[in-house]
Amino acid sequence: SQELEQSPQSLIVQEGKNLTINCTSSKTLYGLYWYKQKYGEGLIFLMMLQKGGEEKSHEKITAKLDEKKQQSSLHITASQPSHAGIYLCGAVFSGGYNKLIFGAGTRLAVHP
Amino acid sequence: DAGVIQSPRHEVTEMGQEVTLRCKPISGHNSLFWYRQTMMRGLELLIYFNNNVPIDDSGMPEDRFSAKMPNASFSTLKIQPSEPRDSAVYFCASYQQVGALGTEAFFGQGTRLTVV
């Protein structure tokens, strides 16, 4: 979606390194979702953020929504090969019927 | 609950043929999304339903695409006639809208469509 820009498009890191993926919106976000997709499979929910400044963690993955609710970052600490896959941010822009759209995704490879 | 169930998992068809993709959402969820994923365009929202009613079909690429949700437990996405550029992975997602923002969207395993 052009309304959501993810960066970088792809990332290769050494096992044990930290990394950050960004998701930027052209409009104020009502809700922001992070999903992970393993190649050839469906999307797995990681976490949802709604409030400006909100931060959530799941195991070694932390995601934050900025105060203006137009950008989110996902940070992985001490990456492992199991973190490899495609990370997608999804957003809802309105409080009515929730149209959930996604960014293009970030492909992450973790080398041992 | 077995989660969102899509069928078939793989479909290979010849150009010009009709293709029907099926989705069984999670029981009790009131919203359903159809997405298409390709390397070039990423995950595109095609259409979504709320309480079985189509709310926004602006993502449907052409009139060759149509979607229905006759009841809360079943939806179809039909392509007629199919073309090679329709080759992609099609996902169905089930979602429960609670108040102003819903819960997580649960995705099916997808249908990999190849049109030759």
**Residue labelled with tokens 């809802």:** A92
Pair A90, B105: CB distance under 8 Å: yes
- What pLDDT is stored for residue A71 in this prediction? 93
Q: What is the mean pLDDT of chain B?
A: 93
- What pLDDT is stored for residue B67 in this prediction? 98
Q: How far apart are CA A74 and CA A19, in angstroms?
A: 8
User: For residue A54, how many C-alpha atoms fall within 13 Å in the half-sphere facing its CB?
Assistant: 14
Q: How far apart are CA B12 and CA A102, in angstroms?
A: 27
List pLDDT tens digits, range B30-81: 999 999 999 888 999 999 999 999 999 999 988 999 999 999 999 999 999 9
Give the gap in angstroms from C-alpha A71 to the nearest C-alpha of chain B.
18
Cis before A8 (ω within 30): yes
Percentage of chain B exceeding pLDDT 90: 83
Q: How far apart are CA A38 and CA A60, in angstroms?
A: 17
Q: How far apart are CA B96 and CA B111, in angstroms?
A: 22
CB spacing of B110 vs A50 below 8 angstroms: no
Of B44, B48, B109, the CB nearest to A99: B48
Contacts of A98 in chain B (CB under 8 A): 31, 95, 97, 101-102
Mean predicted confidence (pLDDT) in B13-35? 96
What single-letter amino acid sits at A80?
Q
- What pLDDT is stored for residue B101 in this prediction? 66
Per-residue confidence band for B18, with pLDDT thresholds at 50, 70 and 90: very high
Of all residues in chain B, the one with the smallest CA distance to A99 is B48
Residues in chain B, how many? 116
Contacts of A99 in chain B (CB under 8 A): 45, 48, 55-56
What single-letter amino acid sits at B66?
S
Confidence check: pLDDT of B111 > 80:
yes
Give the gap in angstroms from C-alpha B72 to the nearest C-alpha of chain A.
17
Say whether A96 sits in a helix, a strand or coil.
coil
Of A43, A95, A99, the CB nearest to B56: A99
- Residues of chain A short of pLDDT 70, as ranges, are 1, 94-97
